[in-house]
Amino acid sequence: MTEGLPQVARVEPGEVTPALVTALYTGAVMSPVDVGVVALTGPGAVTSFQGLLTNDIELPGEGSFVYGALLTPKGMIVVDGWAARLGATVGYTVPADTGGRDRALAIFTRSVPPRLARVTDRTADVVVYRLAGPSALAVAVAAGLEVPPGAGRVLLRPDGVETARATEGAPFVVQVTGPAALELSRILAGWPRLGAEVDEKTIPQEVRLDEIGGVSYTKGCYTGQETVARLHFRGHVNRQVRGLLFDPEPPAAPAEGWSAVTHVDRDVGRVTSLAFVPETGVAGAGRWIGLALIRREVEPGSVVRASGRDARVVDLPFIFPIAAPA
């Protein structure tokens, strides 16, 4: 009987090349990591974190980067990860594929009073890379990163990039956490993403695959070709992904969890992606944009209600400058 037993972590033959093994022993390897990033921010963030983490986040002081776990009252591990102390914020980077983000959020929400610290889920706002191998530090420096002078330390650059050095014996040497600029780039380009614009009921033409070089109408047969070809040569889709330019005033963000798009009091689609684009050279200024799957009769230039805000429908990709009034 194996029911209820934990899964065995294993690396299968062919998943790692001999060249990668050589790099781990003699050079450097860099890879994005599937993690969640949860933060406590406020006057009691450090004290609250200190009361929950197995390791010490107070003694190393400002800029510390330590490994530790959150436990149950009976001393069992709930989630483990790396804590970075920067000012009034302690960020906690945890595994994402095992539900670590949700576990950490649950503990912080339950255990930390809002008057002491605010709990924030930064997972969707940042990307995390890790460098391993004896040349990892040299590679990071050559790439222009400001690396902390010692192990177990983290630095925050003015552009929001965090560079941390792991403690001795960790499976990586450097961790880089930065704003998710590629996600903004994807939205600006009007490029679809699985889980946002695309699901199992999405037709390629609905999300511009034919416009962005993802469909050939001259190649031979492939699975699903009949539907795609018929729409191209004889018909049209009933909905399409469009851009949304939200009114800059009021500056409130589009409502979270509210994806409906309405036009003339009629439901015409759903919001699939949102991003705030800051205005160049003006701190705090900018506007929200988004992608939405909208019925084709709602043409560019139409004003709709999306995620609780007024927005103008625009063609994709977005045209700069987009921070100016529509």
Q: Which whole number is the average pLDDT over 104-111?
A: 95
Q: Kindly indicate the confidence band of residue 2, based on its pLDDT and cuts at 50, 70 and 90.
A: low
Q: Kindly indicate the confidence band of residue 190, based on its pLDDT and cuts at 50, 70 and 90.
A: very high
Tokens of 241: 């992904």
pTM for this predicted structure: 0.68
Burial of 24 by CB count in 10 Å (0-12 exposed, 13-18 middle, 19+ buried)? middle
pLDDT at 163 over 60: yes
Measured CA distances, 62 to 57, 143, 284 (Å): 9, 25, 26
pLDDT number for residue 80: 95
Round the CA-based radius of gyration of the chain to a whole number and report it: 23
Q: Which whole number is the average pLDDT over 95-120?
A: 93
Report the alpha-carbon distance of residue 23 to residue 275 in Å, rounded: 37
pLDDT at 324 over 60: no
pLDDT number for residue 319: 87
Measured CA distances, 236 to 54, 242, 302 (Å): 59, 15, 20
Report the alpha-carbon distance of residue 311 to residue 291 in Å, rounded: 11
pLDDT number for residue 97: 75
Report the alpha-carbon distance of residue 59 to residue 152 in Å, rounded: 12
Q: Kindly indicate the confidence band of residue 282, based on its pLDDT and cuts at 50, 70 and 90.
A: low
pLDDT at 182 over 80: no
CA 194 to chain centre: 13
pLDDT in tens, 264-274: 989 999 999 98
